[in-house]
Chains A and B, each alone.
Chain A
Amino acid sequence: MRLTKGEKIFQWFLIVIITMLCIVMVYPFLHVLSISLSTPAEALRPGIHLYPKEISLFAWERVLSTDSIWRAFGITVFRTVVGTLLSLVFMSMAAYPLSRKYLPHRGYYTTFIIITMFFGGGLIPTYLLIKSLGLINSVWVYIIPGLVSTFSMLILRNFFMGIPMELEDSAKIDGANDIRILVQIIVPLSAPVLATLALWAAVAHWNNWFDAMLYMQDKTKITLQLLLRRLVIANMGDPMMPVPTEEEDPAMVKAAIIMFTALPILVVYPFLQRFFVKGVMVGSLKG
């Protein structure tokens, strides 16, 4: 398409504005990253930090040699991997029967589940329930109460409904039962949707901190996000973390912990964001 002169000016104007926006989006991360890699004197200097002028790995060594951080990292990886897998299993287990029109009392079961999207007990009753179930201070508190997302489950159900019945009928003639049909036919056909839902669940697990704050008093089992909150936002010292020595600045160590927590997502998201974008579309078309 040939652009007129006015169009060209408009295009350049857009590019300038959008570039400025991108700088505003990226700069905060560069700033914190470069502080975490700077020497203490440089880290304390007010002003713009785009890259570390003198590189010092002090803060990162401190962070990467702290046991409590690795333990929290391990717990977070555990909840992300196991939580996501179990979520997918559970959501498929509900979505498949609910997608079959011949399931007896299908309408009642669907209503039973959808009602929970509108009503909830609220924070305090939920806390008392978790407490009475003995889940306080157990790592399973990260996984079991959030096992099923009704919204994701309904998206999955709608996808299952679109799979042609003939596949299922022929498997039944061959003598397969519903569980085998789900595992061997339906799930492989639904891989793209399952991947999208898995990514949603995984990011939610990685970023979740509230359940750890509510239910986890055992400091050895807290998640990375909560540890970050304690160290950086609530400014509580961590007894397991050595006191900063004089030549290092706590701001550098804090910056390194922030980047350590954000890094897995920062590294992965450019490659996976298109799945998320697709997910938004699926969700908006009608859950």
Chain B
Amino acid sequence: MNTTNAPDIGGIGSPHKKLKKSSGTWIDNVKQIGRDYVKNRYLLLLLFPVLIWYGIFAYGPMYGVQLAFKDFYIKEGIWGSPWVGLKHFEYLFTASPQFPQIMKNTIIISFYQIIFGFPAPIILALLFNEIRFTFFKKVAQTISYLPHFLSWIVIGGILITLLSPSTGVVNYILEIFGFDPVYFLGTEKYFRFTLITSAIWKEIGWGTIIFLAALSSIDSQMYEAAVIDGANRWKQTIYITLPALMPVIAILLILRVGNVLDAGFDQIFNLYSPAVYGVADILDTYVYRIGLQEFQFSLTTAVGLFKNVVGFMLVLTANFIIKKMGQEGLY
């Protein structure tokens, strides 16, 4: 063991051993740890600024979570504001006129996104996988990734242009087929449909990547054997391709369900308007509006905490289920 404080020049193996469990007194232990820290001081010098950053910007906000149990007065600050126990939670679950509707919107929108948005890239990946013209396939894939890279503000601006009831091209086409113009972004009846459709449009191409990777790892001998047995394309898809995709599908689906309280803040916030709050207002948009525009800091911190705790439990459950299925867990 290195007893000097000279930089360790790394005799083969020596620096890579784990901290030795010393059999001596605790003082020996402390000395040993001290020596290890001195030995690795450059590594620690690299690490500590980042740890400080985490302390401030990741753990700092956690200190403010106590506001969920306090009434916040700006003059008193976070620490000095008086404790009120579960008052804000009680209000949310028993008295708030909006909270039940917001929970309902969040879950409904999220479930629509899953039911319609989740299978879409799988189907597209299967279609891509069947194309024999490699060049065409590559170009089409690249084009389908395009909207993924743009922000919901750009996409929102484009949608407003395309869906305008007076000059928009979508209503122009609807009118050709004899339908009345529809205000897609401004009526409660169509708003969720518009949300789901535009989200699928934006992410369908990008979503295929992970499935195409899984598809490319299927052993082609399986298909050759199936052809000899007389299986046609459809049968090959049902009995070889889909079962091979199942593990990926299951993991992604469970993870998605674990994030059910995230219904897509960026998208909704840039597309909704007061006319559709009734069907479009979700937890995140509510927290922003009521918290930062109406300054109800404590109440919205409580909403945020509720969302975090439920989300955390859902993700843990999801991970547990994945492990139970015999897949490698994510954490």
Interface residues of A (CB under 8 A from B): 1, 3, 10-11, 14-15, 17-19, 21-22, 24-26, 28-29, 31-32, 35, 44-49, 90-91, 93-94, 96-98, 100-105, 109, 112-114, 116, 118-129, 133, 144-145, 147-148, 165, 168-169, 172-173, 175, 177-179, 182, 203, 206-210, 214, 225-226, 228-229, 232-233, 251, 254-255, 257-258, 261-262, 265-266, 269-270, 273, 276-277, 280-281, 284, 286-287
Tell me if A48 and B145 are in contact (CB < 8 A): no
Chain A residues with Cβ below 8 Å from B162 are 28, 31
22 A-B pairs in the complex with CB atoms less than 8 angstroms apart: A18-B128, A18-B136, A22-B140, A25-B143, A31-B158, A46-B166, A46-B168, A97-B46, A102-B16, A113-B51, A116-B59, A123-B287, A125-B62, A125-B67, A127-B292, A147-B57, A178-B42, A229-B156, A232-B157, A232-B160, A258-B157, A280-B213
Tell me if A11 and B133 are in contact (CB < 8 A): yes
- Given A11-B133, A18-B140, A124-B291, answer yes or no on A179-B45 (Cβ-Cβ < 8 Å): yes
CB distance from B292 to the nearest CB of A (A): 7
Q: Which of A179, A269, A286 contacts B149 (CB 8 A)?
A: A269
The CA-CA distance from A182 to B61 in the complex, in Å, is 32
Chain B residues with Cβ below 8 Å from A1 are 132
The CA-CA distance from A15 to B328 in the complex, in Å, is 37
Chain A residues with Cβ below 8 Å from B59 are 116
The CA-CA distance from A247 to B312 in the complex, in Å, is 55
| CB-contacts of B128-161 with A (<8 A) | 128, 130-133, 136, 139-140, 142-147, 149-151, 153-154, 156-161
Instruction: Determine whether B36 belongs to the interface, using a CB cutoff of 8 Å to chain A.
Output: yes
Chain B residues with Cβ below 8 Å from A101 are 16, 18
Chain B residues with Cβ below 8 Å from A46 are 166-169, 171-172
Instruction: Determine whether B116 belongs to the interface, using a CB cutoff of 8 Å to chain A.
Output: no
Chain B residues with Cβ below 8 Å from A178 are 40, 42-43, 46
- Given A101-B18, A123-B287, A169-B10, answer yes or no on A44-B64 (Cβ-Cβ < 8 Å): no
Q: Given contact pairs A121-B64, A123-B300, enumerate 14 new A-B contacts (beta carbons under 8 Å).
A: A46-B168, A102-B16, A121-B304, A122-B308, A129-B63, A148-B53, A148-B54, A208-B151, A210-B266, A228-B153, A229-B153, A232-B160, A254-B161, A286-B328
Query: What are the 7 A-B residue pairs with the smallest beta carbon separation, nearest first?
Result: A121-B61, A125-B64, A122-B304, A207-B151, A178-B42, A172-B10, A94-B50
CB distance from A91 to the nearest CB of B (A): 8
CB distance from B55 to the nearest CB of A (A): 9
CB closest residue in chain A, given B16 = A102
Tell me if B158 and A25 are in contact (CB < 8 A): no
Tell me if B9 and A262 are in contact (CB < 8 A): no
CB closest residue in chain A, given B151 = A207
CB distance from B141 to the nearest CB of A (A): 9
The prevalent SS among residues of B at the interface is helix
The CA-CA distance from A203 to B145 in the complex, in Å, is 14
Instruction: Determine whether B119 belongs to the interface, using a CB cutoff of 8 Å to chain A.
Output: no
- Given A26-B146, A112-B51, answer yes or no on A21-B153 (Cβ-Cβ < 8 Å): no
Chain A residues with Cβ below 8 Å from B12 are 169
Interface residues of B (CB under 8 A from A): 7-10, 12, 15-19, 33, 36-37, 40, 42-47, 49-51, 53-54, 56-65, 67, 78, 124, 127-128, 130-133, 136, 139-140, 142-147, 149-151, 153-154, 156-162, 166-169, 171-172, 201, 205, 209-210, 213, 233, 266, 270, 284, 287-288, 291-292, 297, 300-301, 304-305, 307-308, 312, 315, 328, 330-331
Chain B residues with Cβ below 8 Å from A105 are 19
CB closest residue in chain A, given B311 = A118
Q: Which of B42, B57, B159 contacts A144 (CB 8 A)?
A: B57
- Given A102-B40, A123-B291, answer yes or no on A94-B47 (Cβ-Cβ < 8 Å): yes
Tell me if B43 and A96 are in contact (CB < 8 A): yes
Tell me if B133 and A15 are in contact (CB < 8 A): yes
The CA-CA distance from A26 to B40 in the complex, in Å, is 54
Q: Which of B124, B150, B288 contacts A265 (CB 8 A)?
A: B150
Tell me if B131 and A11 are in contact (CB < 8 A): yes
CB distance from A117 to the nearest CB of B (A): 8
Q: Which of A25, A258, A284 contacts B210 (CB 8 A)?
A: A284
Chain A residues with Cβ below 8 Å from B64 are 121, 124-126, 128-129
The CA-CA distance from A265 to B300 in the complex, in Å, is 35
CB distance from A225 to the nearest CB of B (A): 5
The CA-CA distance from A243 to B160 in the complex, in Å, is 21
Tell me if A90 and B49 are in contact (CB < 8 A): yes
The CA-CA distance from A85 to B156 in the complex, in Å, is 29
Tell me if A93 and B57 are in contact (CB < 8 A): no
Tell me if B161 and A128 are in contact (CB < 8 A): no
Tell me if A122 and B169 are in contact (CB < 8 A): no
Chain A residues with Cβ below 8 Å from B145 are 269, 273, 276
Q: Which of B60, B172, B201 contacts A47 (CB 8 A)?
A: B172
Tell me if A24 and B158 are in contact (CB < 8 A): no
Tell me if A273 and B131 are in contact (CB < 8 A): no
Tell me if A177 and B308 are in contact (CB < 8 A): no
Tell me if B130 and A113 are in contact (CB < 8 A): no
